[in-house]
Structure 1
């Protein structure tokens, strides 16, 4: 007849209890190790995403800088001898290759402005439009080198968030004007931030004050 109070039954009960405790402890340890491992890999994925987005941002920005610098170099060679059609042709090539929404070339002496957006516009009456009064012109002239504005909402582009790349143009060390390219950051966000997009995550770029600079949702920018 089975006797619970026998020594062997007591030992069996204690052994089963200890095994159950050991299994619980092992499962708890395994759970926390798995949780830590998952957190580590998620963090590494986020770091890799940040690295990739930063690399693409740098690549994008450098390509815009190079195109604007090359445009200024080309204009410095032809500005005094080329006709309006030739200048527009050079500006149009830079606009297309750089993906700019608008390109301006303002002249210091005459106040003339060559503008390309969806069409070619020649402003040759400074009383109506004087590029020399515009921030993109004055800031580049004062700096004496390529400048990139902080992101801002463009009135001309219906509130689109943009940055402007501007650089002074010189001919034989004489300042002759400023050329600039306006770039839509919504395009950048779609092209670059897609690297960090998944079913459960997205990438965004914020400044030190927490202002949204780049985001897939354009309405959240700035």
Structure 2
């Protein structure tokens, strides 16, 4: 196939291949650089959003931790820590505005005082509950992981703190918080529908998640094809056939627990700008190839004109119809000019040789004519002599 192409077309084909190769290398290199830049930007973006979200959660929880500490201090200062006085402290408006309920579980009797009041199951003993035992074990304020409230059946989390009155353990004061505010903070991160946020413990237990079916399950259950490690940086995981970026940011300052804000972003969305660049680069390559071939085609036509004229002249000579008096115009001193001069000298020599041959042929023709004339004259003389001889004999 290549043998049937003209020299100009071979040049165009070679130029097109060079352009395609060059643009392909550029696209691949730039794609790699852009991919690295997008991943770095994604890591920075998720890191900033995660830090801000974790800070918001920390601030919200710290405000309520201070309230629980204040409640414990007020209970510790009571002259008579009986049920009426305890209830009066629990009924302060500041607690009702910030907690679903506040309560005290007494160490000696197991009495349980809660405001607002809610009937507890028969035989309920606060001293057996995790919020009570963990606070005593830590001997400081703790934040529990979300759990199901025994009275309401709702999922809540609690802050609890041991209370000592006159040096003796009075009990454990605590406040329950519904998760609407934390859920609202996390759900505010929609990433234009390309991602979401959830809360997870350091053990990999999901505490809050847009999919309620995953709450209190492990990361391994949420990501059956490979759960991400809870450590700094961005991890790439697969879920439901789609790749996702996942980052973890710790919520600092929480006593007794270590929580992380997990941010999830769809990988294809993060690389959407890269896909647009690839499309633009491919279109630019096609336009460049077509444009370069058109321009190069016109340029080759102009530059190859002397060679075209020479080829036409050689073809005329080869067909025996060439005019050897014609010469190629020499318009440059480049290789085509040198070739044209050489062609003109070659044609001049052929022309000169043909003129010499033609002259020699004319001379031979003249000599031959003389020989013919002499031969004819000799034959005429011979005939005349024969006639005379015949006459004498008669």
TM-score tier (shorter): 0.7 to 0.9
Please state if 1:212 is matched with 2:212: no
Distance 1:219 1:21, change over 3 A: closer
Unaligned stretches of 5+ residues in structure 2:
217-394
What is the 5 A alignment of 1:146-165? Answer: 146-158=141-153, 160-165=154-159
Map of 1:43 onto structure 2? 43
Separation in 1 of the partners of 2:118 and 2:11? Answer: 97
Separation in 1 of the partners of 2:132 and 2:36? Answer: 54
Separation in 1 of the partners of 2:151 and 2:83? Answer: 27
Q: TM-score, normalised by structure 1?
A: 0.76
Cα drift, residue 142 of structure 1? 4.4
Distance 1:79 1:202, change over 3 A: farther
Distance 1:24 1:112, change over 3 A: closer
Contact 1:68 1:167 (8 Å CA) reproduced: yes
What is the 5 A alignment of 1:1-20? Answer: 5-6=6-7, 10-20=10-20
Cα drift, residue 114 of structure 1? 1.9
What is the 5 A alignment of 1:195-206? Answer: 195-198=188-191, 199-206=193-200
Map of 1:33 onto structure 2? 33
Separation in 1 of the partners of 2:50 and 2:150? Answer: 31
Worse-superposed segment, 10-19 or 201-210: 10-19
Q: CA RMSD in A?
A: 3.2
Map of 1:115 onto structure 2? 114
Separation in 2 of the partners of 1:94 and 1:79? Answer: 22
Secondary structure in 2 aligned to 1:204? strand
Map of 2:175 onto structure 1? 181
Map of 2:89 onto structure 1? 90
Q: TM-score, normalised by structure 2?
A: 0.46
Q: Deviations over 1:154-208 (max 9, x none)?
A: 23222x3322211122233232222111222x32432321343221100112234
How many residue pairs match? The answer is 210
Secondary structure in 1 aligned to 2:195? coil
Secondary structure in 2 aligned to 1:32? helix
Worse-superposed segment, 11-20 or 201-210: 11-20
Cα drift, residue 100 of structure 1? 2.0
Contact 1:189 1:215 (8 Å CA) reproduced: no
Cα drift, residue 54 of structure 1? 2.0
Separation in 1 of the partners of 2:134 and 2:10? Answer: 89
Contact 1:148 1:165 (8 Å CA) reproduced: yes
Secondary structure in 1 aligned to 2:210? coil
Unaligned stretches of 5+ residues in structure 1:
none
Structure number with bigger Rg? 2
Map of 1:169 onto structure 2? 163
Separation in 2 of the partners of 1:48 and 1:82? Answer: 49
Separation in 2 of the partners of 1:76 and 1:128? Answer: 27
Structure richer in helix, relative to its length: 2
Separation in 2 of the partners of 1:79 and 1:132? Answer: 24
